[in-house]
Amino acid sequence: MNTKPTHSVPTSLFGLPGEDPHELILFGSDSDGGLRSIVAIHNTSRGPAFGGCRMWRYASDLAALTDALRLSQGMTFKNALADLPFGGGKAVIIAPEGASIDRSQLFHAFGDLVNSAGGRYITAEDVGTTTADMRMVASRSKFVSGLPRQGKFGGDPSPKTAWGVFLAIEQGLRLHLKKSLKGSTVAVQGLGSVGLALCEYLSDSGAQLIVADVDELRVAKAIGRFGARRVSPEEILEVSADVLAPCALGGVLNSTSVPKIRASIVAGAANNQLSRPEDGVMLRDRGVLYLPDFLINAGGIVSVAREYLGTGSESEVMSEVALIAGRVAELLERCQSGGSPAEVAETWARQKIGLGSSWSREVP
Alpha-carbon distance of 274 to 290, in angstroms, equals 10
Catalytic (active site) residue 160: no
Catalytic residue among 4, 78, 90, 182: 90
Give the C-alpha separation, 211 to 217, whole Å.
Answer: 12
Instruction: Decide: 162 and 192 in contact? Cβ < 8 Å.
Output: no
Distance from the first to the final alpha carbon of the chain: 25
- Signed CA dihedral, 271, 341, 259, 16: sign only: negative
Q: Which three-class secondary structure state does DSSP give residue 179?
A: coil
DSSP E strands in 52-103: the ranges are: 53-56, 87-94
Backbone angles phi and psi of 236, in degrees to 5: -60, -35
How far apart, in whole angstroms, are the C-alpha atoms of residue 250 and residue 273?
4
Q: Any idea how long the chain is?
A: 364
Strand partners, 90: 40
| Distance of alpha carbon 90 from alpha carbon 348, whole angstroms | 21
Note whether 204 and 227 are within 8 A (CB).
no
Which residues are CB-neighbours of 60 under 8 A, at least 6 positions away?
Answer: none
Please identify every residue annotated as catalytic.
90
